[in-house]
Amino acid sequence: MSRYTRIEFLAACASRHVRDGENVFGGTGLPLLAALLAKNTHAPNANLISEAGFIDAMPREVPLSVADSRYYYGCSASIGLIETLGFILQAGRIDVGFLGAAQIDEYGNLNTTYIGPYEAPKIRLPGSGGGNDIASSAKRLIIMMTHDKRKFVKQLDHMTSPGHLEGPGSRERWSLVGGGPEVVITDMCQMDFDPVTRKIRLMSVHPGYTVDDVLDNVMFDLIVPDSVPTTEEPTQEQIEIMHRLDPHGVYLGKARD
């Protein structure tokens, strides 16, 4: 068994959801690390796209920004936003997009803009960026978050990006291009969505945690199936590759554990 940090676990777990040959929006941060890890392991033909304009990128080290020059060398084309978010994403050509969030509700709707009331926000967060576009139009959405009870809420302070909105049929009602959230990965568990009700459902629990730990750390009703498997652990190879990709520990942290 390999030793791993929570962040390493999260990145390795997310990377397994990228399939070979898919068109992937990676962004920056842990999602990017997960996408790069997939490309360096089981999905060598994944087409990694950055919304700033880089297409089929294979950076030697992790970029700090979606526009980072580290994305440039070795990519197949370097264009711009209308290309990536318009021609590629909105035209339905992105298979999988990654997003993080400060708050998520039981339909996978996301808040990345305000904590507190819109009229007098307590905390301004980064905002949508390309998040709303990706959540609207990517075929599948993978959401990555560190697990904190206050983030898994019944009612968002602000809905920045669409998950399954109010449930069955609501994405169709707004003629959204993409399929919405498929999986939510935290450092405690994986969650997916019930195909009928579109409500969030426990999928697997990471080693060291129990179903009750998860239930104690969400503020909405989580569907718990009869059997909940334990999430697969990262391999030593995955851990080594992600440290090679992030040699300065920008995302993984300086310490190995």
| Binds another protein (CB under 8 A): choice among 23, 40, 109, 186 | 109
Smallest distance, another protein to C-beta of residue 76, A: 13
Residues in Cβ contact with 172 at an 8 Å cutoff, skipping those fewer than 6 apart: none
Query: From the list 5, 58, 72, 93, which residue makes contact with another protein (rule: CB under 8 A)?
Result: 72
CA-CA distance, 88 to 83, in Å (whole number)?
Answer: 6
183-242: contacts with another protein (CB under 8 A): none
Longest dimension (CA), the chain: 51
133 binds another protein per the rule CB under 8 A: yes
Which tokens sit at 124? Answer: 């301004």
Which of 221, 226, 218, 209 lies closest to 13 in space, CA to CA? 209
140 contributes a contact to another protein by CB under 8 A: no
Please identify, using beta-carbon distances, which residue of 44 and 116 lies nearer to another protein: 116
Q: Which of 8, 22, 51, 233 is catalytic?
A: 51
81 alpha carbon, distance to own chain's centre = 20
Q: Closer to another protein at the Cβ: 136 or 238? A: 136
Cα–Cα distance, 120 to 130 (Å, whole number): 24
Backbone angles phi, psi at 121, to 5 degrees: -65, 135
Q: How many CB atoms lie within 10 A of CB 28?
A: 22
Told to check if 65 binds another protein by CB under 8 A, we report yes
Q: Identify whether 119 is a catalytic site residue.
A: no
When asked if residue 29 is in the footprint of another protein (CB under 8 A), the reply is yes
Q: Which residues are catalytic?
A: 51
Residues lying near another protein in the complex (CB under 8 A) are found at 28-29, 50-54, 64-73, 78-82, 85-86, 89-90, 109, 113, 118, 120-133, 136-137, 158-162, 165, 170-171, 173-177, 250-251
